[in-house]
Amino acid sequence: MSTSLTAQDFFQQVQDGSALLLDVSPAHAYSKAHPAGSYNVPFHRRGWGQEIKRALNGQTPPLGVFADNTVIAEAAKESLTAAGLSVPFTFDRGVKGWDQEGLPVESVKDLTVDELARNLDNYVVVDVREPYELRSGIVPGAINIPIGQLQGRASELDRSKPHAIICASGNRSASAASWLSQQGLEVANVVGGMSLWMGGRHPVERV
């Protein structure tokens, strides 16, 4: 796919904090391997670009789209540009192509809800959902840090302990876990999030 920037050029912007790379793969694929510094926002057809725009909360950084095929990459770019966002970079060759460019690839440790329930005392659970989402309940003892506040509040987390990151379905938590791992914390992404936690009839606290 033609693009106005090389992968190396755009990755440097990501490292500098002046651009965002959006990995549009499903959460399970993102957990296995993804570009370092990317955020997982699985693509879907209806209103996806507008969702990203709302999540950016008025910020307008240059965006890159990372996918494993041209059709999805183009569709994601079109959705973002239709929402008025700038997308100067797209990459459609997946993790293998990214690695071939000599750029770093990361993975996130997955944790099932059953594994978390059996080992709850061994983890600090960080719930990255928004406060209004907590009405349905939280994992007992969980700390709530909405994903948009994570960079500003990461210093609140105890680096000597492992952390289990959870959200509603596992998408936001995968991105949060990846970022926290880059900061040197030991983290795992809770697969399926609170949907599977509650579906498995594990205990919840009301807030």
Q: What H or E segment, with its residue span, contains residue 125?
A: strand 124-127
Which residues lie below 8 Å from residue 129, measured CB to CB, with a gap of 6+?
Answer: 144, 146, 167, 168, 172, 194
Q: Which of 106, 126, 143 is the last residue of a domain?
A: 106
Q: Which of 85, 106, 127 is the last residue of a domain?
A: 106
Q: Is the pLDDT of residue 2 over 50?
A: no
Residue 135 falls inside a structural domain: yes
Dihedral angle, C-alpha 130, 64, 179, 30, nearest 10 °: 90
Residue 204 falls inside a structural domain: no
Residue % of the chain over a pLDDT of 70: 98
Q: Is the pLDDT of residue 13 over 60?
A: yes
Residue 174 falls inside a structural domain: yes
Neighbour count for residue 128 (Cβ, 10 Å): 24
The span from the CA of 176 to the CA of 182, in Å, is 10
Residues 155 and 195 in one domain: yes
Q: What is the pLDDT of residues 130-149, one digit of tens each?
A: 999 999 999 999 999 999 89
Domain count, the chain: 2
Residues involved in catalysis: 167
Q: Residue 127 corresponds to which amino acid?
A: D
Q: What is the pLDDT of residues 47-60, one digit of tens each?
A: 999 999 998 888 89
Q: Please, which pLDDT band fits residue 74 given cuts at 50, 70 and 90?
A: very high
Q: Which residue has the higher pLDDT, 2 or 72?
A: 72
Task: Give me the CATH number covering residue 88.
Answer: 3.40.250.10
Residues 119 and 75 in one domain: no
